[in-house]
Amino acid sequence: MGNCIVIWTILHDNRLRQQHQYWIVASLAIADLSVGLIVMPMTLIYEIWKKWVLGLVLCEIWLALDVLFVTSSNLHICAIAIHRFVSMKFPVKYASLPHNKVTTITIILAWLLSLIISLPPLIGWRHQQRNQECVISSDLGYVLYSASGSFYIPITIILFVYWRIHKITDEYSRRRLRESYRCSKVLEQSQSLSGDSDNVLQQRRETIHKKLRNKERQATFLIGLILIGFIALWLPFFTLYVIGGFGYSLPDEVFQPIFWLGYFNSGVNPIIYAVFSPDFKQAFNREFKHFITL
């Protein structure tokens, strides 16, 4: 439901559509929605029946889609963080980029890389499924390959990028503090000559600057929340997934809740946007009011 709201709001709100990063958010919501509509119901059927009754072909398709949508979701989160970093580190160059083209390439790459990670078991990189069994490949090579591409490489990039964003924010804040101090000294010396006009102009500039900085902090905070949810909900699964590739496995009673914890991440992302993104909340309120007045 949450992902449907995210997609609907972005598609219908003109202001969000003009902010190109929200198209990446919409693509992320499509991946998360697919996890909820396609992957999770079949997982639930498998767990209720305690055996796979839908045939080998559907088993292989289900497993491939599972890896595809989960990986795509994770790579979209990585892409959002990278776009945020580039916009802060190189604001002039970022503003001059052909954003439609860059956004389209970003989304295509996220889905293409996800396909590259999810398809190998369909062409033989897996063990033979036992009768009425449907589990992801436990081949050590594929386990390391898929876990790295789906989680460990994206999370390493995200952590590095978020660390750089934090440093840029701190450096900018310190620079602005020094500039404000120098400006205040200059204003004190010039007020006797120019009256209050310079002071009013400075206050207006500071107000605009404060609004922009608050918006940047909110965006950085939003990425941080998504990152925390991403790590907290997926790290346990991918840790056990890699351990299982080396032949060590936990009982299903322990592994299954951790497995579902990862799926839960697909429902958390839209909640984070709905609660903590001012732009999205305002857009949703506008579109909802418009919808109920039709």
Q: Residues with Cβ < 8 Å from 253, sequence gap 6 or more?
A: none
d(CA 67, CA 122): 12
Burial 74-111 (b: 16+ CB within 10 A, else e): bbbbbbbbbbbbebbeeeeeeeeeebeeebeebbeebb
pTM for the whole thing? Answer: 0.83
d(CA 52, CA 61): 13
Provide the residue count of the chain. 294
Write down the pLDDT at residue 39: 94
Residue whose structure tokens are 């919501």? 29
Write down the pLDDT at residue 183: 57
SS (H, E, C) 2-19: HHHHHHHHHHHCHHHHHC
Using CA atoms, how far residue 240 sits from 69, 196, 260, 266, in Å, is: 20, 66, 13, 19
Using CA atoms, how far residue 281 sits from 12, 18, 65, in Å, is: 13, 16, 31
> Two tokens at 157?
């990039």
Write down the pLDDT at residue 234: 93
d(CA 65, CA 63): 5
User: DSSP code of 128?
Assistant: P
d(CA 210, CA 202): 12
CB 121, CB 60: distance < 8 Å: yes
Write down the pLDDT at residue 205: 56
Domains parsed from the chain with CATH numbers: 2-162+230-292 (1.20.1070.10)
> Two tokens at 142?
């594929």
Q: What is the pLDDT along the chain (294 residues), one digit of tens a residue?
A: 789 988 988 988 888 888 888 899 999 999 999 999 999 999 999 988 888 988 888 999 999 999 999 999 999 999 988 988 888 888 888 888 888 899 999 999 999 999 999 999 988 888 777 778 888 888 899 999 999 999 999 999 999 998 898 888 777 766 665 655 555 555 555 555 555 555 555 565 556 556 656 666 676 777 788 888 889 999 999 999 999 889 887 787 888 888 899 999 888 887 787 667 777 878 888 877 776 665
CB 77, CB 230: distance < 8 Å: yes
